[in-house]
Structure 1
Amino acid sequence: MKKEYDGMGPVSGFEGELDLFLRARYTLVVVVTLEEERALKAIAEVCERGRRPCLAWDLADGFEVLSGKPGNLPVAKDPLTVIEQVEKADGDITFVLKDFHDCWSNPQVKRKLRNTAQRLKFTRKSIVVISPTRTVPEELRNETEVLELPLPDAAQLDGVLGGLTRTPGIKVDLTPGGREKLGQAALGMTAAQAGRAYAKAIVRDGALDERHIEAVVREKKEVIRESEALEFYPVHETPDDVGGLDVLKQWLRLRERAFTQEARDYGLPAPKGMALIGIPGTGKSLTAKMIGGLWRLPLLRLDVGALFGSLVGEAEERTRRALRLAETVAPCVVWIDEMEKALAHGGGDSGTSTRVFGTILTWMQEKTAPCFVVGTANDVSSLPPEVLRKGRFDEIFFLDLPTAEERAEIFSVHLRKRRRLPGDFDIARLAARSEGYVGAEIEQTIVDAMYVGFHQDREFTTDDILTALARQVPLSVSQRETIGALRSWMREGRAQSASFDEAVEAERQFVVPLEPLGH
């Protein structure tokens, strides 16, 4: 959305919003960011365009000029005096207060700031507080407008790189395409973090080239890890690493180019996400990882448990920060594992979990950034009904016990993963004898057979795997009632089978014997 800037041309985003607030005579604005230097630069540019004098204040250096010629600088060494000087100042002046959020706990400062904010409504003066969090005292919320400075986009990060290239002695050997990829790799970092990552590569190797794209990605992984609630997963899995699930794979392949500009030009919206519901061990987590590899997108796992902190408002702030970071990294895949645990909410924590739950659901419904959400769940009965409501996910897939054909494929996948040729084993016999086993259980029988062969200093065989199958009690037996309830939920038409299309499913009798052969 673009806004006109006092005849100075169209301005969008943060600067446009801030200019609108100042022209509308908002008296108290809190700018939320960790990038103080970048925020000061943006505020100064807004004031220069609007021909407004701008002064900044901090506890160490007092007042300084950010833009314009405001005349004699006021003198103030403490927060109360600062507010008094703001009231006494003449003219159309914007005051930027650094670290002022540290004063929120002082009742006298809060009262004085509230009085001043109310009086400034009849002037053309404004106060801008730069804060790392959205937390504003209850007493000041009615007087305050909160504005977030988003993390830099690809163009702004390219500007950081441009600043480095103008430094004498700095060598940058990047094609236009390589430069674009480098900027994409740095998305999700602050301008300072990206600048340090670029500088580190230059100092280490004497130049910056396309070899360093992966190094920047590694730096970004560390930044995302520090967010506490997001984990950057490496994506190596491909559809060949996932046995069966042909319908789900076809659905994903149809959307493989959905995040390209070509798709936007065609008029296609970016897909919102999918829910994977089903029996434990059937490959839901593996599928989430496979999507990142298939679409060549970053995979971020949202750890909802890590969102909760001990301080009031900390969980909500962490949630918003994590979701903003995901949007900055976009296009990406956001994986919410075990949704029934992650999105459970109750009344035993003063409503914190309910607010976090609501924030995540609202974001899933209304997000415009290309973040593809993959939610996995084992116990659908524990999921609040609003989670699976239409609009949050494009499709809900059910992952059932694998069929004989899928079991054969799963055996082949895991044998190849362990550098064995499936042709050296009786795959058809293994598939027949493993009825009722899920993929994770099949993988474990191969591992168990390998231990036997290794202990006896020989290659493991089909018979070793069959012996391991006979010893194992699968979930289809130990959790027969739970699996039966899940299948009943599927039969009610609440989800699409990940393995069979609707026509085949209608012809197929949806009852697979739960008692595995050999038991």
Structure 2
Amino acid sequence: MADLVSQLFNLIEQQNPLVAVESPSQERIRLLEKLTSECALRNINCYIWMLEDDQLYRLQIDGQQLSLEQLSEYKPNTFKNVREDYFEVLRFWKTTSLQGILILEGIFPWISQATIDSDFFLTAEWIKSALINLKLYNQNSHKTAILLGPNASLSSDIAALIPTITQELPTVEKINVHLESILPTTYSSIEINEIANASVGMYLADIEIGLRSAIAVEIQEVSLADKISNEKINLLKRVYNIEFFQPSAHAVGGLELMQGVFKKYKRLLTPLAKAYNLKLPKGVLLVGPPGTGKSHSAKACSQILGFPLIVLEWSSFRSYGNQAEYKLKKLLGLVDRINRVLLYLDDFDKGFAGDDDLSRRLAGMLLTWMQERTSEAIVIASVNNLDYLPPELTRAGRFDDIFKVDLPNNGERYEIFKIHLGRFDQRFLNGGDAFTEQEWRRLLKETHRCVGAEIQNIVERAAANTFCAMFPTDVPLTNEPTVLEITLSSLLEARQNINPLAIREADKVERMRNKASLQGLPSSPVDDSVYSNGNVNIFS
């Protein structure tokens, strides 16, 4: 906050009569308090106008208490015949003898975008004209108008006239200092540092709200850092429409080559690698048919690197319309502030299916950010159809590695089955097995061309059928529930109830696989397991 106010007064001292300030709504009171305090120190009057009631107030601060005093000098029209009457304050500030800083709220929606609505257009043009006149008329007059809002986007015709400053997310160091001032002295510096690291990606106001909510949750075995991390996850989902996962253990069947590459990436994070000026790749593309485990493998890569994972459905940006670029800018700012994070763009190609101007602008923003960013974030994007992607996205220097995530081979399907069987049948945990080699061969043959998602569905169906067969009616729960034992026959029965995508849409899937083979590196080695087709003894 201090940096934002400092930037603002630098612009004021340079005789800028008009400044745009982007600050989130939850930080509004903190900003007004800081700005009013600074004005008091400089002996500058500070005023605020709000569209809500069309009144002008003088901001004053007594200690830490902010107060508003309504000014009688401003007398708005009681009867507003046209929309322009709601913005009479712009004419007033141009000609009044009052000096100082005037904060204007509620202006940005009118000056941020083009519109085809004639009434809205005329009002927007009137406001732009009034702002331009205000800038020219108030030059060197010791009067500054500050346009304040959570989204300080300006249309191109006035963007050059109005300098813009943005309140960035606080760094972990600033969060640490703030926590030391508000947390009880019973918290050690180590605990405060853990809470600060868990809070990165939140504004100070959000952190304070999250702390109050976290402290109210009476779960003694959960640390405050973990509680605030959960609060952050919920907040990010509401604000950015994303899923946020801390790195956790995820078993993956196969994809050893891709996982090996991410282990190399981890070595590039070391101080020794940085001494040689080695850097992480900017992006990784995962190409392959649906259900082959691209999303699950991103979680495994998060575990390997120790990075949290942000999951975003890229095509969802199209639904934001004129707000799409603003939403993307804020999200990329969040990624930069967290720094070491994986940004996973799910179904990346679907965001370009329309081939419209919005898709190209969003792609341009992403490419510019990927090219210029200094954070250690990695972008992982999953793609089903490479044809939808603009060619510039797939060239070297954008997505440095492209992996083909293919239909799992016999050995990988064996591993995937064991991972999911272990969720229900304890015999398959910790490397255990309950089937013979011949039984496995039959199951793998019957699930040829099944992907990981379909194997998961088969196991879950078989587990449910096994449970219903064991307990045809409700029975009281004992201390130790009876262990489920999933049989080969139940798995084969469940297999008959699904029609794999690679069989149902064979032509489309094969086209995807062939194109992925031309562009991507294999993510799995050649199957050398005992269940490989090459290991079948035809003479037995």
Counterparts of 1:434-449 in structure 2, within 5 Å, are 434-449=447-462
Give the counterpart of 1:32 among 10, 22, 39: 22
- Residue 188 of structure 1 corresponds to 201
- Residue 53 of structure 1 corresponds to 44
- Residue 74 of structure 2 corresponds to 76
Q: 2: distance between equivalents of 1:233 and 1:459? A: 32
Structure 1 residues 440 and 98 mapped into 2: Cα distance closer, same or farther (>3 Å)? closer
Give the counterpart of 1:499 among 524, 536, 539: 524
Structure 1 residues 414 and 135 mapped into 2: Cα distance closer, same or farther (>3 Å)? same
Q: 1: distance between equivalents of 2:391 and 2:136? A: 44
Counterparts of 1:473-492 in structure 2, within 5 Å, are 473-492=499-518
Residue type at the aligned position of 1:485:
R
Give the counterpart of 1:417 among 420, 423, 426: 423
- Residue 111 of structure 1 corresponds to 129
Contact 2:170–2:200 (CA<8 Å) still a contact in 1?
Answer: yes
Q: 2: distance between equivalents of 1:288 and 1:450? A: 27
SS at match of 2:330: helix
Instruction: Select between 419-428 and 285-294 the one with higher mean Cα deviation.
Output: 419-428
Deviation at 1:287, TM superposition (A): 0.9
Q: 1: distance between equivalents of 2:315 and 2:218? A: 40
Let me know the Cα RMSD of the aligned residues.
3.8
Deviation at 1:216, TM superposition (A): 0.6
Counterparts of 1:312-331 in structure 2, within 5 Å, are 313-331=322-340
CA shift digits 1:237-259 (9 cap, x unpaired): 42xx1101111111112223655
Structure 1 residues 253 and 174 mapped into 2: Cα distance closer, same or farther (>3 Å)? farther
| Counterpart check, 1:243 vs 2:253 | yes
| Counterpart check, 1:394 vs 2:400 | yes
- TM value normalised by structure 1: 0.78
Structure 1 residues 451 and 358 mapped into 2: Cα distance closer, same or farther (>3 Å)? same
| Counterpart check, 1:64 vs 2:59 | yes
Q: 2: distance between equivalents of 1:469 and 1:85? A: 74
Q: 2: distance between equivalents of 1:97 and 1:480? A: 60
Deviation at 1:450, TM superposition (A): 3.1
Q: 2: distance between equivalents of 1:284 and 1:400? A: 10
Deviation at 1:211, TM superposition (A): 1.0
What is the number of equivalent residue pairs in this alignment? 476
SS at match of 1:156: helix
Residue type at the aligned position of 2:20:
V
| Counterpart check, 1:465 vs 2:475 | no
Residue type at the aligned position of 2:149:
S
Contact 1:300–1:332 (CA<8 Å) still a contact in 2?
Answer: yes
Contact 2:94–2:137 (CA<8 Å) still a contact in 1?
Answer: no
Structure 1 residues 279 and 303 mapped into 2: Cα distance closer, same or farther (>3 Å)? closer
Contact 1:282–1:440 (CA<8 Å) still a contact in 2?
Answer: yes
Contact 1:57–1:97 (CA<8 Å) still a contact in 2?
Answer: yes
Q: 2: distance between equivalents of 1:191 and 1:47? A: 22
Contact 1:36–1:130 (CA<8 Å) still a contact in 2?
Answer: no
Q: 2: distance between equivalents of 1:12 and 1:263? A: 35
Q: 1: distance between equivalents of 2:40 and 2:322? A: 35
% identity of equivalent residues? 24
SS at match of 1:232: strand
Contact 1:76–1:82 (CA<8 Å) still a contact in 2?
Answer: no
Counterparts of 1:77-92 in structure 2, within 5 Å, are 78=76, 80-81=88-89, 84-85=92-93
Deviation at 1:150, TM superposition (A): 0.7
Q: 2: distance between equivalents of 1:87 and 1:195? A: 42
Structure 1 residues 449 and 137 mapped into 2: Cα distance closer, same or farther (>3 Å)? closer
- Residue 295 of structure 1 corresponds to 305
